[in-house]
Amino acid sequence: MLQSIRTKYSNLSRELALFAIASFAVGMASSLVDSTLNNFLNDSFSLSPFQRSFLELPREIPGLIVVFVSALFWFLGSRKLGALSLFLGSVGIFLIGFASKTYTVMVMFLFLFSMGQHLFMPVASTVGMELARDGKTGHRLGQMNAIRNLAAIIGSSLVFVGFKYFHFNYKHTFIIAASCFIIGMVLMALMKPSKVEKVDRKSFLKLRKEYTLFYILAVLYGSRKQIFITFAPWVIVTIFGKPTQTLATLIVIGGIIGILFQPILGKAIDNLGEKAVLASEAVLLIMVCLGYAFGKTFFSENTAFLIACACYLLDQVLMSVSMARSTYMKKIALQEADIQPALSASITIDHAFSISIALLGGVIWNHFGFQYVFLLGVLIAVINFFATMRIKIPSQNNVTILAEESVITAD
């Protein structure tokens, strides 16, 4: 067994090793921020639910414009662009911790941090699939996600222990997160540059009719994810009044589950297909939203809190299913050069709807109650299920024919 482990790691390519360690650093930095940012906002600026949801506007605008920024820096290629994105994330989170004298100033730094985060999203999927063997893209993305989950456990554990026993404050966690982003930046910069000669800047700004269903799934994912990112932790922090350590603990538990689940999910995508995986996600998401919405209505305070925690953990795991959308895009791509532009475009599309859901959710929460935000989530999940059932993976021969027809038409 030890011999097989040594053989496995001795065959690990330099590029994959650099990317794996960079993914670990990014995962740790992200968990440090995720574990503390909601409480930092609540403690520093005493935001109302509507103000918290409105803050998603400057936080999500970078996702809205990421396709344009990616097009601007197309000449860097995916790996150098990844290094740039992590540099922006590092500077942004450092300034949030050390220079946010007013709410307005903090918003500007949050925008910078978020720009780095959103630029890295399509890069992570693109590079991960570049480093995968044929037919194993889901497995490779699952491995990278598992690495990030392991990092999230360490980062969130550090938050828990630091705040509970070592008098940590938000500046401590933000400076550690900034350092991790810098490590990831250096490692991405050390990777061999990706080929860019076939990438046309205009391709980032063009939507192809052949990828229509992929774009629709991006719309639904953007709408669905905002409920988890914004309103799920806000329920735990405000409705149940829990401290920083609670979210940190949940992220640790979710990370432990993710280490086991991510590789299995990746193999399921490769073996069962994207349709089965994404349809299952939609069904489970309906149950999650109903748990958030009605746990406190039908159960005691303690039981309702446990239900909310279970929903948060399941929701955290389900967020990983987004890699099935990336592998779906790879399978339907007419040419390899379409993949990163399409992934960047999908982030812009999903954020256009993500911002809308954040604002709409804040209004709904204020006027009707938090339960109705999650009933909106049920509706989104139902639509997502029926959209997913329309997925068809073309054979490689059909993809080649479509690509040739596209070239002929363009000529």
Cβ–Cβ under 8 Å, residues 329 and 342: yes
Q: Over the stretch 139-152, which tens digit does the pLDDT of each residue have?
A: 788 888 888 878 88
- The rounded distance, in Å, linking the Cα atoms of 306 and 397 is 50
Residue 335: DSSP 8-state: S
Per residue in 95-129, pLDDT (tens digit) is: 998 988 888 888 899 999 999 998 998 888 888 88
Alpha carbon 49 to chain centroid, angstroms: 23
Most trustworthy range by pLDDT among 52-56, 123-127, 234-238, 383-387: 383-387
Q: Which of 39-43, 169-173, 332-336 has the highest mean pLDDT?
A: 169-173
Residues 220-233 have a mean pLDDT of 82
| DSSP letter for each residue of 237-266 | IIIS---HHHHHHHHHHHHHHHHHHHHHHH
Type of residue found at 8: K
Measured CA distances, 313 to 28, 106, 204, 249 (Å):
18, 29, 35, 10
User: Alpha carbon 85 to chain centroid distance?
Assistant: 14
Rounded to an integer, what is the distance from CA 9 to the centroid of its chain?
28
Q: SS3 of 135, please?
A: coil
Q: Pick 177 or 364 by higher pLDDT.
A: 177
pTM: 0.72
Return d(Cα 352, Cα 204) in angstroms, integer.
16
Q: Are 84 and 189 in contact (CB under 8 A)?
A: no
Q: Using the predicted structure, report yes or no on whether residue 322 has a pLDDT greater than 50.
A: yes
* Res 323 pLDDT > 50: yes
Cα-based torsion angle of the residue sequence 266, 267, 273, 279 in order, rounded to the nearest 10 degrees: -60
Q: Note the pLDDT of residue 195.
A: 66
Amino acid residing at 252: V
Residue 408, pLDDT above cutoff 50: no
Provide mean pLDDT across the span 318-345. 83
Task: Map out the domains of the chain with their CATH numbers.
Answer: 13-410 (1.20.1250.20)
Please say if the pLDDT value at position 407 is more than 60.
no
Task: Provide Rg for the chain, Cα atoms.
Answer: 21
The mean pLDDT of 154-183, rounded to a whole number, is 90
Mean pLDDT of all residues in 378-405:
74
User: Whole-angstrom Cα distance, residue 345 to residue 241?
Assistant: 38
> Two tokens at 337?
């050069």
pLDDT at residue 244, rounded to an integer: 65
How far apart are alpha carbons 378 and 384 in whole angstroms? Answer: 10
Q: For residue 392, what are the contacts with CB-CB under 8 A and spacing of at least 6?
A: none
Report the pLDDT averaged over residues 248-257: 80
- Beta-strand (E) ranges in 195-338? none
Mean pLDDT of the chain: 82
